[in-house]
Amino acid sequence: MDFATILQIVDSAVRLMTPLLLACLAGLYSERAGIFDIGLEGKMLMAAFTSASVAYATGTVWLGLLAGIGGALALSLVHGLASITFRGNQLISGVAINFLAAGLTVLLGQKIFGLGGRTPSLEGDARFHAITLPFAENLRGVPVIGPIYAEVISGHTVLVYLAFALVPLTWWVLYRTRFGLRLRAVGENPASVDTAGVSVTRMRYAAVAICGVLCGIAGAYLATGISAGFVKDMTAGRGYIALAALIFAKWRPWPALFATFLFGLMEAVSNRFPDLDLGFVTIPSMFMNALPYILTVIILAGFVGRAIPPRAGGEPYVKER
């Protein structure tokens, strides 16, 4: 395998990890606040549909992005209402959201566009396009660094850069701000926040809303960045993989970056080598395609050491004496 091939795979991994990273960070905010969110998948799917629809209708991708955020946010609030206000079971609410999104997107898509659940292809300003960073072409000749800069770092859509910028930002918010302190506290011991005179409900809604916004961006990226339109079930389990990455990363932002990169890399490798020929044996494409999911199972089975979730995670907060 030569250097150029490796660069191409890494470049593709960066592209593919972006929705995972966004969804993973979305889950991080929610779960750090004690609201488990199995509905990342559904929210991304809804966002992919609304963003593609609005981008197609208006011809402006930015309006599409806003619509994507709006779509995911709406489902977030449903989750918040069910699990915070009405103290319902967070897993069931999440699963319900996934079913709702899977059905609703196809139904609305067919009703509106009549293409079997797809949206029409997006063109021109209705899509996010790659940005070539300054001097990318000029520096291509510089050994090693040049190609890395031009191939891997340059040439992505703005949402990719946004996703990567969100990693240090999230770290800073969590560990350096008042909001982050309270967010982490509310996921560990909501009673401590409550007795300190801070509203647990408000903190948790804020976290769930941030989760919705990030899922919205992730979904919009899928439909208007990587692809040119919405396709039925286009998230293909990315919401669940993001959850696995979140556990792998032990609910911390920097490890989330590496975890999602790992999953992105798996996907990139399987895309690049559908039938991996190792000389003595050829690994069939089915196996390569299943690789990210196999990795998910291995990680969730706990082969990565003990991951301690936020202590109050999954439990509705009830004030007690």
Partner 1 sequence: MTARSGAENMAPAIELRGISKAFGPVQANKGIDLLVPRGTIHGIIGENGAGKSTLMSILYGFYRPDSGEILIGGKPIAITDSLTAIRAGIGMVFQHFKLVQNFTVLENIILGAEDGPMLRTSLGRARAELKRLAEEYELQVDPDALIEELSVGHQQRVEILKALYRQADILILDEPTGVLTPAEADHLFRILRGLRDEGKTIILITHKLREIMEITDNVSVMRRGEMVASVKTAETNPTALAELMVGRKVLLRVDKAPARPGAPVLEVRDLRMVDADGVERLRGIDLSIRAGEIVGIAGVAGNGQTQLLEILGGYPEPGAKLAGEITLKGQPLALKGSDARARRRAGIGHVPEDRQVEGLIMDFTAWENVAFGYHDAPEFQNGLMMDNAAIRADAVGKIERFDVRPPNPDLASKNFSGGNQQKIVVAREVERNPDLLLIGQPTRGVDIGAIEFIHKRIVALRDAGKAVLLVSVELDEIMSLSDRIAVMFDGRIMGERLPEQTTAGDLGCLMAGVAPSDQDAEAGA
What is the contact surface with partner 1 in residues (CB under 8 A)?
175-182, 184-185, 188-189, 191-198, 311, 319, 321
Nearer of residues 140 and 176 to partner 1, judged by Cβ: 176
Residue 220 contacts residue 69 (beta carbons within 8 Å): yes
Tell me how far, at minimum, the Cβ of 121 lies from partner 1, in Å. Answer: 44
* Torsion 101-102-107-108 (CA) sign: positive
Which of helix, strand or coil describes residue 283?
Answer: strand
Which of helix, strand or coil describes residue 274?
Answer: coil
Residue 53 contacts residue 115 (beta carbons within 8 Å): no
Residue 66 contacts residue 57 (beta carbons within 8 Å): no
Tell me how far, at minimum, the Cβ of 254 lies from partner 1, in Å. Answer: 18
Tell me how far, at minimum, the Cβ of 258 lies from partner 1, in Å. Answer: 22
Tell me how far, at minimum, the Cβ of 300 lies from partner 1, in Å. Answer: 23
Which of helix, strand or coil describes residue 111?
Answer: helix
Tell me how far, at minimum, the Cβ of 194 lies from partner 1, in Å. Answer: 7
Among residues 70, 55, 71, the alpha carbon closest in space to that of 121 is found at 55
Q: Which residues of 57-79 are buried (b: 16+ CB within 10 A; e: fewer)?
A: eeeebeebbbbbbbbbbebbbbb
| CA 33/CA 170 separation, integer angstroms | 14
Nearer of residues 132 and 199 to partner 1, judged by Cβ: 199
Nearer of residues 32 and 79 to partner 1, judged by Cβ: 32
Nearer of residues 194 and 267 to partner 1, judged by Cβ: 194
Nearer of residues 111 and 319 to partner 1, judged by Cβ: 319
Tell me how far, at minimum, the Cβ of 191 lies from partner 1, in Å. Answer: 5
| CA 285/CA 209 separation, integer angstroms | 39
Nearer of residues 33 and 45 to partner 1, judged by Cβ: 33
